[in-house]
């Protein structure tokens, strides 16, 4: 299976398997939380056996916490799988689109790309395109970024390249060098 496919509106590059493994690793950490919650539930049952009236409520709280942890973990796993298949970069002669499904889509023309740099996100070094300006398109919510900008939070919007098929040694890299050669010096 190829990471990209040609369409009349450009070439699409999807998340690679390393990105899926990173998201799956997050899911495994959440499973640890579920196990810890189950342990708390078991401890609550022990405390309920003691002759203290308030401890009689602990199993109900423990069961509720356990069910909540299972629901949240399942939701996060399903969302991660959906995001893996729905997030992609589209490269065309006119510009580049970053589809951060289900949240938002960024579009930049090639002359709006200022630079390519390594940024740190959540402890990981990521190659990213930094645009001078961009457009929000699509039906996804862009509220988070607009809200932070409205509150005066200074942050740069970027298009991540790491984690997508064809970067740094494939067709994605060649397409970016072809259309945005000015960022490579």
Same domain, 78 and 114: no
In which domain, by residue range, is 43 found?
A: 19-84
The pLDDT of residue 4 is 45
DSSP state of 165: T
Write out pLDDT tens, residues 95-146: 999 988 877 888 999 999 999 999 887 788 889 999 998 887 755 555 566 6
Phi (first) and psi of residue 19, to 5 degrees = -65, -40
Where a domain ends, among 30, 56, 84?
84
Write out pLDDT tens, residues 51-77: 777 777 777 777 788 888 888 888 888
Same domain, 103 and 26: no
Write out pLDDT tens, residues 144-164: 666 666 777 666 688 999 889
Stated pTM of the model: 0.69
Same domain, 109 and 144: yes
């Amino acid at each position: 299976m190829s990471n990209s496919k040609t369409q009349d509106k450009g070439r699409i590059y999807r998340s690679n398997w390393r990105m899926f493994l990173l998201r799956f690793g997050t899911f495994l950490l959440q499973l640890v939380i579920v196990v810890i919650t189950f342990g708390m539930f078991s401890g609550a049952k022990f405390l309920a056996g003691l002759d203290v009236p308030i401890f009689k409520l602990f199993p109900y709280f423990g069961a509720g916490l356990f069910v909540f942890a299972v629901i949240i973990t399942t939701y996060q796993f399903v969302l991660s799988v959906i995001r893996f298949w729905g997030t992609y970069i589209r490269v065309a002669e006119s510009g580049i689109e970053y589809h951060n499904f289900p949240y938002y889509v960024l579009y930049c023309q090639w002359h709006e790309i200022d630079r390519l740099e390594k940024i740190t996100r959540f402890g990981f070094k990521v190659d990213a395109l930094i645009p001078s300006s961009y457009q929000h398109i699509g039906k996804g919510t862009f509220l988070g970024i607009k809200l932070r900008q409205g509150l005066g939070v200074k942050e740069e919007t970027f298009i991540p390249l790491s984690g997508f098929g064809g970067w740094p040694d494939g067709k994605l890299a060649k397409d970016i060098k072809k259309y945005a050669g000015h960022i490579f010096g």
